[in-house]
Amino acid sequence: MSDVKKVVLAYSGGLDTSIILKWLEDTYKCEVVTFTANLGQNDELEPARAKAEAMGVKEIYIEDLREEFVRDYVFPMFRANAIYEGEYLLGTSIARPLIAKRLVEIANETNADAISHGATGKGNDQVRFELGAYALKPGVKVIAPWREWDLLSREKLMTYAKEHNIPIDFAKAGTKSPYSMDANLLHISYEGGLLEDPWAEPEEAMWRWSVSPEAAPNEPTYLELTYEKGDIVAIDGEALKPHEVLEKLNKIGGANGIGRLDIVENRYVGMKARGAYETPGGTIMLKAHRAIESITLDREVAHLKDDLMPRYAELIYNGYWWSPERKMLQTMIDESQEFVNGKVRVKLYKGNVIPVGRESADTLVDESIATFEDDAGAYDQKDAEGFIKLNALRLRIAAQKGRNLL
């Protein structure tokens, strides 16, 4: 007899999680609570409710978390200019801590004994969901069906669905995209299918959010982004909420062929995997944020941020958003953003994001010193001689001791 009486399931309403719902009921003889999060993936959420109701679910949570997602997760991450392995903007990774948080909160609200998710045993998401859950509810029981059942092929999943009268549109399921896709306001990802061959170029029909750079307009689009403490608060003078900022940048960026990425990444579980991503708004945000920081951040603060960024990005990729070390780094990053205020003007053209203007009341650029014209004595160029000699001292000593480099 299972000691699990109630489980909160992260539920999309698709084939996999609908099967998981029934499998949990049959295997654990438990009640299932479904949780469906709207993070901006543009999926129809009400069909998920209808499917859950049709399967007899009594407690159904469908929540619009777009504002919380961008405000409390995406924006803090972009203050750090975080990218994983030099390219990936962490679109899937940053969504998982919020989902884990809500799974735990709903488990507490409904007095559930466990939580469950549909992540496979080969991927990163199982780690991200579960590390977050254990950090927030140490004694929680996590049920990961893909690590327990023998339904390890699509054929077996379809057979199970038919045998148990699970409400699936089988005609649609047979013609769905050949890719495993994940979408939220920050990005859409594609894995599997022909992408499993690292040599195969993604087909144009795969992309959902962006036109190809070749098909983008022949005239550039200009945007003026207003920053307060490192976050975009307005576009072209129009004040917007965080999720509205990202929605607008996605639309404009996608129309200009911005944000496509094709990489082979190192998963935390040990394997390499090829993925394709569309992150139009995030690509604009990264370029523009670095532009406003270039005039408002002290040199050593900027360089220290760059030194720490790969570690911060790796923590998010590997699922450690709720760790003390990520929170410690976040405190430092947020402190660095106090004077990251002002405006950035960017030009969008055929897949490129080009900062073309920056201004700030908190700028550290002193034109009277940096000018190539007469600076009226603001900077004594003779001072550079002593500066150079002092910095060359160790090099000169080593060379005098016979440590020649030629």
Asked whether the beta carbons of 51 and 167 are under 8 A apart, the reply is yes
Element holding 244 (H helix, E strand): helix 242-255
- For 210, the 3-state DSSP assignment is coil
Cα separation, 248 vs 356, in Å, equals 20
Nearest 5°: the CA angle 285, 264, 351 is 35
Q: Parallel, antiparallel, or unpaired for β 180-183 and 188-191?
A: antiparallel
According to DSSP, the residues that pair with 190 across neighbouring strands are: 181, 276
Residue 313: name the closest of 3, 27, 93 by CA: 93
Residue 330 phi/psi, 5-degree rounding, is -65, -40
Element holding 108 (H helix, E strand): helix 96-110
Asked whether the beta carbons of 259 and 278 are under 8 A apart, the reply is yes
Helix axes 324-336 and 299-318, enclosed angle (nearest 10): 150
Residue 192: name the closest of 101, 239, 122 by CA: 122
Residues with active-site annotation? 16, 96, 125, 180
Asked whether the beta carbons of 189 and 73 are under 8 A apart, the reply is no
How many distinct helices (H) and strands (E) make up the chain?
A: 14, 14
- For 359, the 3-state DSSP assignment is strand
Residue 154: name the closest of 120, 201, 103 by CA: 120
Cα separation, 188 vs 336, in Å, equals 30
Asked whether the beta carbons of 10 and 105 are under 8 A apart, the reply is no
Residue for token digits 């990163």?
A: 124
Cα separation, 293 vs 356, in Å, equals 14
CA atoms within 13 A on the CB side of 347: 8
